[in-house]
Amino acid sequence: MNPYRLHVSGFFAHREEAGSAMAPLVMLGWGASLGGLVDAAAGAQTGVKHKNGWLSDLVRDAIASGQVVLVAETLTEQETASAREVIEAAVGAAKNVSMA
């Protein structure tokens, strides 16, 4: 089991903006490790909510306030850097969420 595991997330006001940020990650081969887009409508249906029993308080609060959250699971420092670069380019900031 890989001991390195982080989730890099970006917060967006609109689903279309989050989708535009997700597209480059998919093109880089991130399809399987993207938690995807999580919002109030999709939150109960996404694997992210139940994956390893987590949603950080920050992510929960963002969803509750109507934001859309893009989540990418990273298993190496290089993946974390790549995900942060793409998400920061889209929103100006990215947040690492470590797994317990």
CB-based burial label for 16 (10 Å; 0-12, 13-18, 19+)? exposed
58, part of any domain: yes
79, part of any domain: yes
Is pLDDT larger for residue 24 or for residue 95? Answer: 24
| CATH number of the CATH domain containing 49 | 3.30.70
Average pLDDT over residues 54-71: 79
pTM of model > 0.75? no
CA distances from 45 to 11, 13, 29, 87 (A): 19, 20, 23, 23
1, part of any domain: no
Domain housing 51: 6-98
38, part of any domain: yes
pLDDT at 47 over 50: no
39, part of any domain: yes
pLDDT at 46: 46
How many domains does the chain contain in total? 1
Per-residue pLDDT tens for 4-27? 888 888 888 888 888 888 888 888
